[in-house]
Amino acid sequence: MILKEVMAPGTIANHLKAVKSLFQYAADNAADDDPLAANPMARVKYAPGDGEERDDFTPDERRQILLAAREAEPHIYWLNWMCSFHGCRNGEVADMSTRDIEVVDGIAVFNISKRNRSKDQRLKTTVSTRKIGLHQAVLDEGFIDYRDAVCRKHGDEPLFPDVKLDLYGRRAGTVTTELSDWLRNTVGIKDPRKPFYSHRHTATSFLRNTLNEDGEPVVKEDIERYILGHRRKGSHGGYGKHWLRTLKAAVGVIPNPLV
pLDDT at 253: 98
Detail the DSSP E strand segments found in the chain.
Answer: 101-104, 107-112, 130-133
pLDDT band at 199 (very low <50, low <70, confident <90, very high): very high
Any bridge partners for residue 112, and if so which? 130
Note the pLDDT tens digit of each residue in 85-107.
999 999 899 999 999 999 998 99
pLDDT at 240: 43
Distance CA 68, CA 80 (A): 10
**What percent of the chain has a predicted confidence (pLDDT) above 90?**
59
Helices and strands, number each (H, E), in the chain? 11, 3
Distance CA 139, CA 70 (A): 14
SS3 197: coil
pLDDT at 72: 98
Q: Mean pLDDT across the stretch 190-194? A: 96
pLDDT band at 152 (very low <50, low <70, confident <90, very high): very high
Note the pLDDT tens digit of each residue in 237-250.
544 455 899 999 99
Q: Mean pLDDT across the stretch 51-72? A: 93
Entry pTM: 0.76
SS3 132: strand
**How far does Cα 182 stand from its chain's mean position?**
17
Distance CA 13, CA 7 (A): 10
Distance CA 99, CA 29 (A): 43
Q: How far is CA 137 from CA 35, 82, 94, in A?
A: 59, 10, 19
pLDDT at 128: 65
**What percent of the chain has a predicted confidence (pLDDT) above 70?**
78
Note the pLDDT tens digit of each residue in 158-186.
999 999 988 888 888 889 999 999 999 99
Note the pLDDT tens digit of each residue in 120-140.
545 544 546 799 999 999 999
Q: Mean pLDDT across the stretch 227-236? A: 70
Contact between residue 135 and residue 119 where contact means Cβ atoms under 8 Å apart: no
* Mean pLDDT (the chain, rounded): 84
pLDDT band at 26 (very low <50, low <70, confident <90, very high): confident
DSSP 8-state code for residue 217:
B
Q: Mean pLDDT across the stretch 198-203? A: 98
pLDDT at 17: 67
Query: What residue ranges do the domains of the chain occupy?
Result: 2-37, 59-251
Detail the DSSP E strand segments found in 82-145.
Answer: 101-104, 107-112, 130-133
Q: Which CATH number fits domain 59-251: 1.10.443, 1.10.1330, 3.30.750, 1.50.10?
A: 1.10.443
Provide CB contacts within 8 A for 130, sequence distance 6+. Answer: 112, 226, 227, 229, 242
pLDDT at 22: 75
Ramachandran angles phi, psi of 76, nearest 5°:
-65, -45
